[in-house]
Amino acid sequence: MLQAFKHLSPRRKNVRLAVLGVMLPTPGEWDDVPQLTKDLHLEDTVIIVPPVIHAEVPNILSACDILCAPKLDMAVNRASIPIKVIEYLSMGLPTVTTTVGELNRIVTDRVNGFMAKPGDVEDLEAVLEEIILNPEHSQEVGRRGR
């Protein structure tokens, strides 16, 4: 996600990325988002939101224009439907996820959400840019996700 945003942000100066629920990394389990943000020189355009109680999540999500939950093609992701994606869709905002596992059962690309290829930074970047460049269509897709 951060790498896709790094490529997108020079062309879209008014775009910011909020990363919600960042915790300290565990080696081998997930990225060190604060460090990666620094390494990619994105400190001025990425907002790192610390973990909040679940009841506060909708308030934070409603302040966003696009919701994004890219999943990598890994066994754990193929075997489940992340609740996060369902929560994002319920917000009625354009939601991006990836074509991993059972997500294809709840998201139909460009009908009720947007799908990117897992692990493909350029595809994720292209999907995000499409949403930004076509706000009316993207908002309609978001409403249908609800």
State the total domains in the chain: 1
Task: Check which CATH number belongs to the domain holding 18 and give it.
Answer: 3.40.50.2000
10 Å Cβ neighbour count for 93? 22
Which structural domain, as residue segments, surrounds residue 63? 2-145
Q: Is pTM beyond 0.75 here?
A: yes
How big is the CA angle at 70 (ends 130 and 141), to the nearest 5 degrees?
45
Phi, psi torsion values for 30, nearest 5 degrees = -155, 165
Q: What is the pLDDT of residue 82?
A: 82
pLDDT tens across the length of the chain (146 residues): 999 999 999 898 899 999 998 665 555 555 688 889 999 999 999 999 988 999 999 999 999 999 999 988 888 778 777 889 999 999 999 999 999 988 889 999 999 999 999 999 999 999 999 999 999 999 999 999 99
pLDDT in tens, 25-40: 555 555 688 889 999 9
